[in-house]
Amino acid sequence: MSKYLENLNWRYATKKFDTTKKINDTDLEFLKEAMQLSASSYGLQPYEILVIENNELREKLKPAAWNQSQITDASHLIVIANKVGFGDELIDSYIENVSAVRELPLESLSNFSSFMKSKIGEFSIEQKAQWAQNQSYIVLGNLLSAAAEIKVDVCPMEGFDAKVFNDILGLDKKGLNTAVIATIGYRSEEDETQHNLKVRKEKEELFTTI
């Protein structure tokens, strides 16, 4: 436990990345698996994750992220895109996957399927999008913790124009929307913010035991 907390104290929102360092395949797969294992409502994972290495594409995206240098300087850019226009097919696909992985007949999952459809079916289009976007942030949290475990730096970012990102990445056509992005790589020695003391609320202020 102490090592985990030590890692969380080590991490910070990296502002300047070392452009000469790239994440190796083993560490990248570790981070991808950590995101894959993220919790989500009903286990539906209503999002897709783009791992962008292409430098030209990141140069196109950079102006839509306030020209922040992390977009192009980091080893990789992660885009977590939530589903927007979806219906029962999201649940049907999940149920088929459950059936295959757990070797259960589809009929035995019909009640669970109907229950999810009845609950999510009550949502408006806007509520569905917001619900899916909320799940995307759980993925981001897993990425931050997992990256700290292997000493990979991350900068979670909300400073971007989602509409422009969607257009450049063709997400609209796939019924997706850019929920949140993160750059991953290794901090530059010139990044002064790495030396700042971590500032958080005191536990007495943050927690209430009832």
Secondary structure of residue 167 in the 3-state scheme: helix
Give the model's pLDDT for residue 2: 81
Give the model's pLDDT for residue 85: 85
Could you tell me the end-to-end alpha-carbon distance of the chain, in angstroms, rounded to an integer? 25
Q: What is the 3-state secondary structure (H, E, C) of 105-146?
A: CHHHHHHHHHHHHHHHCCCCHHHHHHHHHHHHHHHHHHHHHH
Place of tokens 């913010």: 193
Q: Are 140 and 182 in contact (CB under 8 A)?
A: yes
Tokens of 105: 């007949």
| Domains of the chain listed by start with CATH number | 2-206 (3.40.109.10)
Give the model's pLDDT for residue 56: 98
Give the model's pLDDT for residue 1: 58
Q: Which helix (H) or strand (E) holds 49?
A: strand 47-52
Q: Is the pTM of this model over 0.75?
A: yes
Per-10-residue mean pLDDT of the chain, 210 residues long, equals: 91 98 98 98 98 98 98 98 95 98 98 97 95 98 98 98 98 97 98 96 98
Buried b (16+ CB within 10 A) or exposed e, 99-124: eeeeeeeeeebeeebeebbeebeeee
